[in-house]
Amino acid sequence: MKQPVKSWLIAAAVASTLAIPGVSHSNADVEKLTKDPKNWAIWGGDYAGTRYSKLDQINNKNVKELQVAWTFSTGVLRGHEGGPLVVNDVLYIHTPFPNKVYAIDQNDQSILWTYAPTQNAEETIPVMCCDTVNRGLSYAEGKIFLQQADTTLVALDAKTGKEVWKVQNGDPKTGMTNTQAPVVMKDKVFTGISGGEFGVRGFLAAYSIKDGSLAWKAYSTGPDDEVKLNPEKTMTWTDGKMAPIGKDSSLKTWEGDQWKIGGGTTWGWYSYDPDLNLVYYGSGNPSTWNPTQRPGDNKWSMTIWARDVDTGEAKWVYQMTPHDEWDYDGINEMVLLDLPMKDKAGKEHKKLLVHFDRNGFGYTLDRVSGELLVAEKFDKAVNWATHVDMRTGRPQVNPQYSTEQGGEDKATGAGPDGKPGTADDDHVCPAALGSKDQQPVAFSPRTNLVYIPGNHVCMTYEPFEVEYTAGQPYVGATLNMYPAGKDVKTGQKNGSTNLGVFIAWDPTTGKIVWAKDEPFSVWSGAVATAGDVVFYGTLEGYLKAVDAKTGEELYKFKTPSGIIGNVNTWTHNGKQYVGVLSGIGGWAGIGMAAGLQGETEGLGAVGAYKSLDKFTQLGGTLTVFALPGKK
């Protein structure tokens, strides 16, 4: 680890650990930092995950004048997801494996310190599903928290970069890895686990921010005590109301001991309501991808969770895709909004949770009770289900696009002869990477719209028999992916070849307000601002700014590599900046990042994005933008 060269510069720049009187249900330091828009101190900008900034120096009138202020090379050539943290004028960035961390002085862009962990590449990289990405850092009380790929959770001194403590969160030998950004809530730092494609049993874990000791761990599948479910008090949506889940709700939905290798991993984003003291997150796909090998609903994979931060006990759960047949991971972010709306019975709701799932449905729930309020397609090309039954909460599967028919494995998206389909056939929509993957949305309270960076991709899906061996792939399906060839707002065939879309959505009605097609998937996280601008990045490498009300493109600039990172904004010396990590990779860019060429490699993504190398190349760069003028 490189020793700090300007520690005296940071001494005044890192937030103090003094508590704020009257704040009892959050981490006071994080709460204070996130309320000041000069910082970007947590993945979503705030605990609610809105990715909204009150800054308006850059607005829809002057954004066209934006210029590159400075750049920084990370020195790593794999996919760069996540985004920079800015805490009291110090900028912290991370890299994919080997998960370096840099603290940067914004005055002259010099490196204050570097943390370069030692990890076993031969042991870790082969069990990382979809590139060697990392989604970011967390900060609280003078510490930077890094979740390494090899499952080591590390706390670093924010002034020096020295290790304060570290703890092992899993075991790569069994297929466990980590890619998500940890989040600090109260006196705990929360992290999950990756490895659903290796039969890993998912969990959420809470560690003490003081010393790394384990406070609690709650699994996604298994016995009630290990999943931290109360059969009489944990509620779920059924028959048009909330009801207790009952005893052994998970065990009853798996055959034998399959739950032990059942997936439900937790590699997405975590949100927090300090008033309710609840953490919200999603669990991923069941293992294996071959549904005929795991009959039943496979609870509680593919689920939205609301857990008590202190104890881990689940207050309510909602399973979006029971008995998943398409790898529609449920890990996407939960956005917490305070918007008034009425359900169909006329009951008023204000504390909402909004979630855009891989399965193509946008959900709005009451985050206090777990009641289901909205479940509508945010891409009308979605065809695997006709709709969600609002009384049962279950999607109504279209038999034509089931990957399991008659108890036998079947290639879906098949042609009239029953054989695997071609690009001209009507495929399963969306593809396994979903109508939206992990790339987080943004919300603007000025428009009351959510802005969705999305995919517009369909697939053929052919399951096959697979046996479980610890540390070996446990997938059991072959995929090909194609452009949807349909209109996003109507679902009608139109022959379009766009693989991506950027959507404005009304979370109270479940309606698309406007949609903007993109040639490739929009794999970056968005940010909305008080200047009525929404920023996002494209796989070709463009940073784009659009009008929050109309979607009109106002600005674009091509960065050195494809963007799969999240766009963040902050101020330094009174000037607003916008920053994004570029570096092609992730699932959509895995072909380029890992040098794969087979059409079905990269779990089906390589064939769909094979032309991407004509528009961008590998590279890891932070690009920071500002309006021209005095610093």
Contacts of 122 (CB under 8 A, 6+ apart): none
117 falls within a domain: yes
Averaged pLDDT score across all residues of the chain: 92
User: Is 445 a residue whose pLDDT tops 80?
Assistant: yes
2 falls within a domain: no
398 falls within a domain: yes
Bridge-based pairing of strands 372-377 and 67-73 is unpaired
Q: What percent of the chain has pLDDT over 90?
A: 91
Total structural domains within the chain: 1
Mind giving me the DSSP string for 427-481?
Answer: -BSS-TT-SS-S---EEETTTTEEEEEEE-EEEEEEE------TTS----EEEEE
CA nearest neighbour of 566 among 441, 405, 461, 460: 441
Q: How far is CA 350 from CA 63, 338, 368, 452, in A?
A: 33, 5, 9, 22
Contacts of 347 (CB under 8 A, 6+ apart): none
pTM summary value: 0.94
User: Is 6 a residue whose pLDDT tops 90?
Assistant: no
573 falls within a domain: yes
Taking residues 206-225, report their average pLDDT. 98
| 327 catalytic per annotation | yes
631 falls within a domain: no
CA nearest neighbour of 363 among 374, 352, 379, 378: 374
1 falls within a domain: no
Domain, as residue range, for 619: 7-626
Lowest mean pLDDT among 15-19, 237-241, 539-543: 15-19
Looking at residue 607, its pLDDT comes to: 93
User: Could you report the per-residue pLDDT of 557-605, keeping only the tens digit for each?
Assistant: 999 999 999 999 999 999 999 999 999 999 999 999 999 999 999 999 9
How far apart CA 134 and CA 152 sit, in angstroms, is 13
User: Is 629 a residue whose pLDDT tops 90?
Assistant: no
User: Is 611 a residue whose pLDDT tops 70?
Assistant: yes
Looking at residue 501, its pLDDT comes to: 98
How far apart CA 414 and CA 419 sit, in angstroms, is 5
User: Is 297 a residue whose pLDDT tops 70?
Assistant: yes
Contacts of 76 (CB under 8 A, 6+ apart): 95, 96, 97, 98, 100, 583, 620
β-sheet with 278-282: strand ranges across = 241-244, 235-238, 314-319, 303-308, 278-282, 271-273
Q: What is the CATH number of the domain that holds 435?
A: 2.140.10.10
Q: Do 480 and 604 touch, CB atoms closer than 8 A?
A: yes
Of the candidates 89, 273, 327, 532, the residue annotated as catalytic is 327
How far apart CA 605 and CA 584 sit, in angstroms, is 14
User: Could you report the per-residue pLDDT of 60-86, keeping only the tens digit for each?
Assistant: 999 999 999 999 999 999 999 999 999
Mind giving me the DSSP string for 54-93?
Answer: ---SS-TTTGGG-EEEEEEE-S--S---S--EEETTEEEE
How far apart CA 262 and CA 170 sit, in angstroms, is 16
User: Could you report the per-residue pLDDT of 363-390, keeping only the tens digit for each?
Assistant: 999 999 999 999 999 999 999 999 999 9
Judge if the upstream peptide bond of residue 430 is cis by omega within 30 degrees of 0: yes
Q: What is the 8-class DSSP label of residue 9? A: H
CB neighbours (10 Å) of residue 244? Answer: 15
